[in-house]
Structure 1
């Protein structure tokens, strides 16, 4: 019965979409509330799934969140009293008004909402009342209490977003003026974002229209960190780099095609002929079958095959994928190479490396209890919504690359680059090292250039060169050194046995006597 009802509702929705003009107003609204990709969800599900309050349809029916419904309903009752007092209206009048925007609500969500229009309208009315009241209380207190942290985490999650135009419509209904509603919401949102934003605001958004054009609260946070002007600039730079790489690749292919002519083909035929192949492999076969080499091979297999098997078995295919770290040394390693660090009170786009001063400039980032959730969901939102370079994701990968241990985190804290409101420096290191990878690779020209400059300076230091040489040719070849030690030991043991059997000591003594 329920399945037939859902199918009938789906048919009605399709008919309305195709036959009526209700969807025309939703054509200008892009999808902005996505489902978290599974590759991100696997590692830290609590960072993406609300634990206290559900906003919007994705998690509305979860039984473990029902306890918060009474607080949401209390907010809706208080909102009803306000509109009855100021506008002499009922909440049903607001729901009827929101029902007309059903296509716009549906257009925001990536997943199909299997609810009728009235249900969606009531859901948005109740959830918007709760969020507006929470923002109003937050603005009055102007600080984050311990009780607020759980709710703040939930309202920053991508799957738990509701459209900003829903809040605007609620305030417009209450205040009776669209302009007043936008100005009021703008003031609340900017006050909230200044407290929540992990960076100092790179720009003051005095343009109310620009803020109100954001899809939801998480989109506004992303706009404050990655302005639209910078996104377009990096997209253009990435396109130019791709064209350059494509041009160089085509030239390389032309050179290769010119080389593949008759002389090369003839040489290749000679090399792959059976007589030549037999002559080339014959010395290897003879050497590999010598008694000493066979003994070494057996010993190597016995010593290292179990270790290799253990390592392979230790890789659990069910483990969530981790971020592929950027090839850049850690903070402590860079310090040992003579590279200094300096904090800058600007955003991500101020990151730079001064080769003359050997100084790496990084923006100050503020780590609260809710910051990890914000960072993870911003990465997820960027991955789902942006077709160009994943600028914020690249920054997260950079920080993941340079912070390996609590010593790295401690030094950045002492330099003012990390303002740590967590329990310890170890928690900071765990936060960055636990960040999951993005769902696709990306290039960010200005960040990639800084990383390249740091690596070039680091690799050019003589201390680093000597260290790498020792690590690669001495400490890195411990298996070969072990084999050589074992072979030497076997030789000495064989020599001892030989001497004990044939009295080598007497022979050496007799030879010494004759020499005298």
Structure 2
């Protein structure tokens, strides 16, 4: 259709632009690359959006013109451009670089998940400026010279999913800069940058991916492919020494019986009943509803895996770090020895980890094959279960599993926040090796006598009390004394459980029945 026949000028402009872009796309003779640069959905970004949107520097069509990063770094990009051109003796930027990038733009568009409305000329300028800046930055890292603090501060932005520049752009610009030489340009340009900034160990240079879509792609596959080179014969690993019995498992049941005086318990129930009778009916009803709500959680809540400090103190596990050439696919449990890869946590690590997880999620959702498995997502889920307090961090630091300059509190915050929503549930047809290992750990942990006693003494009675309260509430109507008496029993039950937790430890000692008037 002729755009001039459309009455609305905005629609006419859209038809003309779309027609032109489509014609350019149909002229492409090269192989169309797969989608590899995504916009991260709100389901992932909602808890911490600043971890996915560049704060210092924006690259590519998604973020080059973002106001904050643009105003901060556009001047620096333009300042580096003439220096790079001069170093490579490029007299004419438009002819030598820009025109070549513009010819590539129709192919580049296929790398992006969303439709890019900017025209080819604008896109060529964006990719040429951003590509030259990144090439210069990677060369700076690659030379082994000290990297100035300003560039170090950009690392987390450079690693974001939405901020990636296709490798083909960098390759095209590099060829333009080295037209008279046979410069062998490969993804190894990313190596030094990734070695400095990756939270997890990378595979060897020989095992590193030789064909990549962009920087994040290179780091991701360098992490998950970290495995030993073809093994030489090695002596069999020594059998694990018998784990010392958990002190908690050896605690007798008698002290619990001695510490609970039945007469005092009955007296406490009566006192609490008299106290609650003085509370207005409306507040008793609210407390009743709260009790009904709390008990199911008390009796059914389960964690993915117990924390590191609990596994050590209560089940006799011990943690050890894997060799440098063994990554997340080599996490192993041998007896009660738990082998984990090292992780280095610095100021940029959380953002990089979040974007690695997001990238893995998005490539899996975009792929129809079963070739991808949520390896980093599962690993982070494991670490979020193991690290819930400072004691867990100290333990893993002592075993050289956690390194870096972040404090214990900061590390706990990272894993607690990441467990709260940045990792989507990616269901697979069968259990992964890591999930099977976690099941092994949980089976050992839950088979302890103390865990069985906790279930019999507290979780099962809690379920009975919940059922009883629910049925009573359905017919007592305004008989608040009965409700008050039942709530008193539950309160004593919860206080007893809390006392048990203080002495013996338990899985749900953070669950508390809140009584706003209890201190009055």
Counterpart pick for 1:409 among 373, 393, 399: 393
1:81 counterpart SS class: helix
Question: For the Cα contact (< 8 Å) 1:413–1:420, is it kept in 2?
Answer: no
Counterpart pick for 2:319 among 335, 341, 347: 341
Partner in structure 1 of residue 198 of structure 2: 197
Partner in structure 2 of residue 50 of structure 1: 54
Kindly tell me the number of residue pairs found equivalent between the two proteins. 400
Partner in structure 2 of residue 464 of structure 1: 451
Deviations 1:275-308 (A, max 9, x none): xxxxxxxxxxxxxxxxxxxx99x98996664247
1:182 counterpart SS class: coil
Question: For the Cα contact (< 8 Å) 2:203–2:227, is it kept in 1?
Answer: no
Deviations 1:353-389 (A, max 9, x none): 112xx11111110111111111111111111112432
Pair 1:114-2:117 in alignment: yes
In the aligned structure 1, how far is the partner of 2:181 from the partner of 2:17? Answer: 33
2:116 counterpart SS class: coil
In the aligned structure 2, how far is the partner of 1:308 from the partner of 1:118? Answer: 67
In the aligned structure 1, how far is the partner of 2:462 from the partner of 2:68? Answer: 54
In the aligned structure 2, how far is the partner of 1:172 from the partner of 1:101? Answer: 13
In the aligned structure 1, how far is the partner of 2:302 from the partner of 2:128? Answer: 44
Distance 1:72 1:304, change over 3 A: farther
2:319 counterpart SS class: strand
Partner in structure 1 of residue 414 of structure 2: 431
Question: For the Cα contact (< 8 Å) 1:325–1:400, is it kept in 2?
Answer: no
In the aligned structure 1, how far is the partner of 2:131 from the partner of 2:347? Answer: 24
Pair 1:450-2:437 in alignment: yes
Counterpart pick for 2:35 among 28, 31, 38: 31
Partner in structure 2 of residue 497 of structure 1: none
Counterpart pick for 2:308 among 323, 331, 338: 331
Distance 1:31 1:487, change over 3 A: closer
Counterpart pick for 2:97 among 94, 97, 104: 94
In the aligned structure 2, how far is the partner of 1:464 from the partner of 1:221? Answer: 42
Report deviation, 1:123.
Answer: 0.9
Deviations 1:228-275 (A, max 9, x none): 999xxxxxxxxxxxxxxxxxxxxxxxxxxxxxxxxxxxxxxxxxxxxx
- RMSD of Structure 2 on Structure 1 (CA): 3.5
Q: Which moved more, 1:405-414 or 1:2-11?
A: 2-11
Report deviation, 1:79.
Answer: 2.4
Pair 1:367-2:345 in alignment: yes
How do residues 71-90 of structure 1 correspond to structure 2 at under 5 angstroms? Answer: 71-83=76-88, 85=89, 88-90=91-93
Question: For the Cα contact (< 8 Å) 2:47–2:422, is it kept in 1?
Answer: no
Distance 1:132 1:486, change over 3 A: closer
In the aligned structure 2, how far is the partner of 1:373 from the partner of 1:128? Answer: 22
Distance 1:25 1:178, change over 3 A: farther
2:37 counterpart SS class: coil
In the aligned structure 1, how far is the partner of 2:136 from the partner of 2:354? Answer: 26
Question: For the Cα contact (< 8 Å) 1:164–1:214, is it kept in 2?
Answer: yes
Question: Which one has a bigger Cα radius of gyration?
Answer: 1
Distance 1:472 1:218, change over 3 A: same
Question: For the Cα contact (< 8 Å) 2:332–2:338, is it kept in 1?
Answer: yes
Question: For the Cα contact (< 8 Å) 1:138–1:144, is it kept in 2?
Answer: yes
In the aligned structure 2, how far is the partner of 1:164 from the partner of 1:432? Answer: 32
In the aligned structure 1, how far is the partner of 2:138 from the partner of 2:302? Answer: 37
How do residues 276-295 of structure 1 correspond to structure 2 at under 5 angstroms? Answer: none
Question: For the Cα contact (< 8 Å) 2:394–2:408, is it kept in 1?
Answer: yes
Pair 1:9-2:8 in alignment: no
Distance 1:483 1:412, change over 3 A: farther
TM-score, normalised to structure 1, is 0.70
Q: Which moved more, 1:163-172 or 1:2-11?
A: 2-11
Distance 1:33 1:420, change over 3 A: same
Question: For the Cα contact (< 8 Å) 1:390–1:442, is it kept in 2?
Answer: no
Q: Which runs of 5+ in 1 are unaligned?
A: 231-294, 315-323, 489-516
In the aligned structure 2, how far is the partner of 1:483 from the partner of 1:363? Answer: 53
Report deviation, 1:147.
Answer: 3.0
Distance 1:55 1:391, change over 3 A: same
Say which structure is richer in helix: 1
Question: For the Cα contact (< 8 Å) 2:140–2:147, is it kept in 1?
Answer: no
Deviations 1:80-119 (A, max 9, x none): 2234x2x555443311111111122101111111111111
How do residues 91-490 of structure 1 correspond to structure 2 at under 5 angstroms? Answer: 91-140=94-143, 146-176=149-179, 180-182=183-185, 186=188, 188-205=189-206, 210-211=209-210, 213-227=211-225, 305-307=285-287, 327-336=304-313, 337-345=315-323, 346-355=326-335, 358-386=336-364, 387=367, 388-422=372-406, 424-435=407-418, 436-443=421-428, 444-473=431-460, 483=485, 486=488
Distance 1:108 1:477, change over 3 A: same
Partner in structure 1 of residue 238 of structure 2: none
Distance 1:305 1:343, change over 3 A: farther
Report deviation, 1:142.
Answer: 5.0
Report deviation, 1:149.
Answer: 3.9
Deviations 1:335-359 (A, max 9, x none): 122111111132101101112xx11
Report deviation, 1:121.
Answer: 1.1
In the aligned structure 1, how far is the partner of 2:212 from the partner of 2:305? Answer: 35
In the aligned structure 1, how far is the partner of 2:458 from the partner of 2:284? Answer: 20
Distance 1:408 1:455, change over 3 A: same
In the aligned structure 2, how far is the partner of 1:71 from the partner of 1:408? Answer: 42
